[in-house]
Structure 1
Amino acid sequence: MPHHIIVSIKSIVSGPPDGLVHHSQETGEMNIFDRPVLEAALRIREEIGGSITAMTMGPEASKYVLFEAMSMG
């Protein structure tokens, strides 16, 4: 039976170092705690096979974290 790993990714607003959040910004970034989880899922898939589904929810800009996840493998 093939394995199917689901990874939930949180998109966070990436902002300037001044600490101000600019809601008009069109890009977000992956939460720093989610990247190691996705990397672990990729290693598991490499070792035993199967598939990975990365998912997120949020505003339109959240799609960029999914693009980043796809680029990781």
Structure 2
Amino acid sequence: MIAAGCDVVTVQRALGHGSTTVTPNTYAHLWPSAEDRTRGVATDLMATALARPLADRARTAEGAAPR
């Protein structure tokens, strides 16, 4: 659930923890940090940019030679 992006309260309820502090105290290391999320977004952006067909990159001047 954590890897899928569920929040603390959702995980707490699913696991039956009686206190809102049990879940993050036990599983905090499994939630991604801000750095992890930033790396993931940057990776996705690069993958998307590199997956575009060459014709699209050339048309938008990404593939054009400098003048």
Tell me, yes or no, whether TM beats 0.5. no
Rg larger in 1 or in 2? Answer: 2
Kindly indicate whether structure 1 or structure 2 has the higher relative contact order, using CA contacts under 8 Å at least 6 residues apart. Answer: 1
Q: TM-score, normalised by structure 2?
A: 0.33
